[in-house]
Structure 1
Amino acid sequence: MELKQLVPILRIFDEGKAKEFYLDFLGFTLDWENRFEPGTPVYMQISKGNVRLHLSEHYGDSSPGSTIRIEMTGISDLHKELMEKKYKYARPGLEKTPWESVECKINDPFGNRILFCEF
């Protein structure tokens, strides 16, 4: 047996807002998207570096309000890049934690939280 990859599924409610947040603001790339037919909910994969996420408009795929944690290096550079974009819905900070990490927490437009962290 081999476990290969964990790919979180996050619930979204608006494809345009999701792309604005994840692609334009956070800098992910759209790998693919799928609909059963025109006018139905979208299911898409995005990626950045070694991180892959699935975003779904489908009822029941995931609960809004989830949190994912992405371990990384260069969190100060990420924070600077995000702040320079002047995204009107989020201005994340950097937090030094008692457990010796630096974290950058960002809520997406659908109530999900992305927690970038560096040790």
Structure 2
Amino acid sequence: MTDKASTDIRPAIPVIRIFDLEKAQQFYLDYLGFSVDWEHRHEEDFPTYMQISRSGCVLHLSEHHGDATPGSTCFVPITGAMALHQELGDRRYRNIKPALEAMPWGLQITVTDPFGNRLRFCEYRGEQASTS
């Protein structure tokens, strides 16, 4: 029997399928402002698997076939949606101009990476921010 008191379930880390490391770095590092925590390849010229992070958000990017489904969506809770929207607008990424959307649950910014994956950054309104 497992002791539930000793179990610590932490936030999931999305795995995002990428097809071109240079394009992924331009989007996730240069545009979105993430940093590389670590990178792994089994051998030179093999697909990359890496962890990136910004603030409390951690993502895994994978060039490995079958690791994830291209075109997926990650919902990322944030604070400071207006500031992030301004920051992204100031960077002038050539392929995207995200809107700041007022949704019933909060302010949301949706960006799509070069591989069709979407990240929805959302600043919750009121009581919806509770995770319990």
* Partner of residue 90 from structure 2, selected from 84, 92, 95: 84
User: Structure 1 length normalisation: TM-score?
Assistant: 0.96
What's the counterpart of residue 43 of structure 2? 37
Which stretches of structure 1, 4 residues or more, deviate above 6 A after TM superposition? none
Q: 1:33-85: per-residue Cα shift (whole Å, max 9, x none)? A: 00000000000000000110000000010000110011111000000000011
Rg larger in structure: 2
User: Structure 2 length normalisation: TM-score?
Assistant: 0.87
What's the counterpart of residue 67 of structure 2? 61
Percentage of pairs with the same residue: 47
Specify the SS of the correspondent of 1:24.
helix
Specify the SS of the correspondent of 1:88.
coil
Gaps of 5+ in 1: none
The higher relative CO (CA closer than 8 Å, separation ≥ 6) is in: 1
RMSD: 0.8
Alpha-carbon distance, 1:100 to partner: 3.7
| Distance in structure 2 (CA, Å) of the matches to 1:8 and 1:50 | 13
Q: Is 1:14 the counterpart of 2:53 in the alignment?
A: no
* Partner of residue 121 from structure 2, selected from 107, 110, 116: 116
Task: State how many pairs are aligned.
Answer: 118
Q: Is 1:4 the counterpart of 2:13 in the alignment?
A: no
